[in-house]
Amino acid sequence: MYLQCPFPMRLGRARQVLFYQQKFVIVSTSTASFVFLWMLCCVTLVSAQEKATLTGVITDEITLEPLSGASIVLKGTGLGTAADAKGNYTIQNIEAGTYLVQVSLVGYTKVQRTGVVIRAGETLRLDFRLKESSVSSEAVTIIGERPMMDFEQTTSSSTLSPELIALAPLKDVRELAATQIGVVKTPDGLHLRGGRSYETGFYIDGISVRDPLAGTGFGLDLTPEAFADLEIITGGAGAEFGESSAGVVKVKTKEGGDVYHSTLTLRRDNLFFDTPVGWNTSRYAATASGPVPFKKVFPFLSGDVYFFAALSLNFTDEFYKTPAQQLRPTEFSTFFAPANDNKWDGIFKLTYKLSGTDKFTLLFTRSLVINQNAQSLQITGNDLQLQPGYQFAFALIPDSGNVYTHDTNVEALQWTHVFSRQTVLSLQATRFFTQLRAEVGGLPWRPGVLEADFDPRSVVTNPQYVNPNDTIVYAAAPSGLYSKGVAPLWHDHYAEDYGVKADLLYNTEDESQRFLFGLDAKFSEYQWIDLTRPWIGAPYAAGEPSRRLGIAPDIWRVNAAQGAVYVSDNVRLGDFFATAGVRVQYWLPGSFLDDAVADPNSLVPPGFREPYLKNTSNIFGRRVSFRVLPKISMSFPLAPAQTFFFNYGQSSMLPHPRFLYAGLDARYSDDSTTARIGNPSLRPEITTAYELGFRGQFSENDVVTLTGFYKDVKDLIVSAKLDYT
C-alpha cells in the first residue's frame, strides 16, 4: 500500500509512512504520527552486559596468503577494523547480539556472514578466505541466510532474488514488480509511488527497453526464468539512470556456468482442450545453459565461453466470453496467434571470460505480443483512459476489432575490462527496435477497390431511430454494440535506437570512496502512421486515384538524439555513506523540427517558434537543449542496526514525440477542425523528489522501515483547442 497524489498539474506534499513486518503494512500521512513512530523506533536500550571481542585472520582462498588491509565491519554498528600485515584483525567492545560481518578488499569478492551470534564476555574467532574477483566486481558471497536489511542502502529499493522469482506464479516483469510496496499495476502500465506509467524506466542488463511511442511504458516482454534478479528503485535512483522520473525497474539476466543445466515448464488451466470453464490459458517455458566447448574448434584461444538461452510461450483467451475466432496479423502467420492474447519471448546470451580481466557479453532478445488489447496503444496525456483494453463496441463481432502486434528486439555487445584492482571500464553498444501495428483482420490499410461500407456506425442491423420525424434522423443499434463493419483505426509505428554507453568505475585503495564516470548517447529514428477511417477517399474502382488519407491522418518520420554525461562519488566514512552525483542531459529534437520552425510557411503556429529558439542552443547547425540534474543521497546509523537515510534528486522526461511532431509534415497534413498540431516548444517534464526515512532491525526476523517523500513535477503537458487560420 502507498499514498498517491495525482494532482493534474503539480504534484507536491505527498508523504508516505510505512511500517512493515513480514506481511503487515500500516500507512499514515499524519505528521504527528510520523514523529511519534520515529521517536519510538529510535529508542535503543543500553545493556550493561560485559563486552565481547571478535578476532580472526583473512587469507587468499587459493594461495592461503594473508591479505593485509582487508576491511572487516559489523554492519549497522559503526564497529570495524582493517587486517594487519599478517591478515590478523581484532574488534573489541562488542555488545552481545546477532550480527552481519562483512569482509572486503579491492580486487576480491566481498563476503558477508549473516547470523553471527556473539555472547557477552566471549572472544569469538572468525576466519575468512577471500576469492579474487573477476570483472564482475559487484558480486557478493553470502554465508548463511540473505540479510533482511542493507545498512549501506541510501535509496528506497527492493530486490527479488532468483529463488523468490521462481516461487512466484507470475508471467512477466510487470506482475513481479507489482508485488512490491509502492508499485501499482493498472491497465496502462506500472505506477511507482503515484507516478505516471510513462515515468517508469525499464532496464534489462543496463539497456532501456521502454517503447517511446506506444505510451504503455514497457516495450520488451521477457520470461522470469531468464532473471538473475529484479530490482525496483522507487526513490533515489542514481545519476546513471535517465528518463525515469517515477523510478526504475531493473532486470539482470542470467549467465551460463560450468555445469550444463536445463528446465522445462508447462502450465495449463485445462487438459489440452478448450472448455467454457477457465480462460484457456497455457504457458510453456524452457531454459538451457552451460559451457561452450569452443576450444575444440579454436584451440589457440584462451578463456571460457558460456551460454544461456530461454524461450517462453504464453497463450490465453483472457476473460472474454466470446473471443475472436482467429487473430490475423499481416506481419506474422496465424501460427503465432492461436489464442486471443499471445506472447512469445526468447533470449540468447553468450559470455566470454578472458584471463579474469576481460569479459565480453553478447545478448539477443526478442518478444512478440499479438492480442486485441486496446491498451497496447495508450498515449499517456489528456486522452488517458484507465479502463481495460477490451473493445466493448465489437463484443458481438470480435473478429472485426483491432488486432495489435507488438514486435520488439534488443541486441547488445558489452566489454568489461579490469585495469587494476581499483579501476574497471565497461563499454556497451546496443540496438533497440520496437514496432506496433493496429489493424483489422489482416486487411490492408485501405482497399484497392471500395466494395462495401466499412464504417460500423453506418451499417446497423435492426436500427433504432432517434428523432424519426426530424429533418435529421439518427440510427443506432438497440444494444449499443456494432453488428457489422470494422474498427476505424489503422496504426503503425516503429522506434529504432542505436546507443553507446561507457562507465569508468574507480575505487580508492582503502575503499573509502568510489567514483563513477559515464556517458550515454542514443540516436533514434521514429516513424508514426495513424489513420482514422482510412477507407475514406479510397478509389471506388481499380485504377482510380486515392483522394484522402482517411479523416484524421497523422504521419511523420524523424531522427532525434539524446544522451548524458554523468559522474557520482560514493563516500564511506565508517558507517556513514553518502553519494553525490550530477547528470548533464542533452536532447536534439532533430532536423524535422528545426526546419519546420525555421520555415515561415510551415504549419508551426507562430507562438511556438520563439519559445523553441529560446529554450535551445544552436550547435553545429542543430538545436540542442541541456539540463543539469543533481543527485544526493546519504545514510548513517542512529544506533546499532538502526539507520537514517535521505535522498534528493532531479530527473526529466522528454515529451512524447506525438506531442512534438504531430501534423507538422505538410505532405500529410490534416485540414479538419479536429487536426492535431505538435508543439515544438514543449520542454521536458522535471521532477524534483525528496525522501527521508528510517530503517531498523529489532530481531533476526523483524525489520521496520519508515519513509516520507515529496515530489514536485513541473512542465506537465495539457492540450487546448487552437483557433489557427
Q: What is the DSSP string of 404-454?
A: EEEEEEEEEEEEEEESSSSEEEEEEEEEEEEEEEEEETT--SS-SS--S--
- Write the CA distances from 635 to 373, 644, 706, integer angstroms: 44, 6, 14
- Write the CA distances from 90 to 110, 216, 226, 260, integer angstroms: 19, 55, 43, 43
pLDDT of residue 387: 61
How far is residue 436's CA from residue 218's CA, in Å, rounded to a whole number?
12
How far is residue 514's CA from residue 495's CA, in Å, rounded to a whole number?
36
How far is residue 478's CA from residue 462's CA, in Å, rounded to a whole number?
7
- Write the CA distances from 241 to 138, 385, 509, integer angstroms: 18, 28, 27
pLDDT of residue 216: 62
Q: Are 351 and 329 in contact (CB under 8 A)?
A: no
**Coil vs helix vs strand at 667:** helix
pTM of the entire predicted model: 0.83
Which of 542-567 are b and which e, b meaning 16 or more Cβ less than 10 Å from the residue's Cβ? eeeeeebbbbbbbbbebebbbbbebb
649's CB contacts (< 8 A; 6+ apart) are 236, 237, 629, 630, 631, 632, 633, 688, 689
How far is residue 642's CA from residue 619's CA, in Å, rounded to a whole number?
51
How far is residue 119's CA from residue 648's CA, in Å, rounded to a whole number?
40
pLDDT of residue 144: 64
**Coil vs helix vs strand at 725:** coil
Which phi and psi (to 5°) does residue 512 adopt?
A: -80, -20
Q: Are 629 and 520 in contact (CB under 8 A)?
A: no
pLDDT of residue 214: 81
- Write the CA distances from 101 to 49, 54, 69, 158, 272, integer angstroms: 21, 10, 16, 21, 53
How far is residue 356's CA from residue 325's CA, in Å, rounded to a whole number?
55
pLDDT of residue 3: 31
Query: Which residues of the chain are modeled with pLDDT < 70?
Result: 1-49, 134-139, 144-145, 169-171, 187, 215-219, 272-278, 379-388, 542, 671-674, 721-725
How far is residue 725's CA from residue 722's CA, in Å, rounded to a whole number?
9
How far is residue 540's CA from residue 548's CA, in Å, rounded to a whole number?
13
Alpha helices in 604-645 (DSSP H): 606-615
How far is residue 266's CA from residue 283's CA, in Å, rounded to a whole number?
6
Q: Are 534 and 547 in contact (CB under 8 A)?
A: no
**Helix, strand and coil percent figures for the chain, each rounded to 5:** 10, 45, 45
Grid cell 476489432 is found at 401
Closest CA to 662 of 540, 562, 526, 461: 526
Distance of CA 236 to the CA centre of its chain: 15
How far is residue 696's CA from residue 642's CA, in Å, rounded to a whole number?
4
β-strand pairing of 123-125 with 52-60: parallel
pLDDT of residue 550: 83
Closest CA to 225 of 250, 251, 186: 251
Alpha-carbon radius of gyration of the chain: 29
Which of 117-133 are b and which e, b meaning 16 or more Cβ less than 10 Å from the residue's Cβ? ebeeeeebebebebeeb
pLDDT of residue 498: 97
Which phi and psi (to 5°) does residue 433 adopt?
A: -130, 130
pLDDT of residue 307: 95
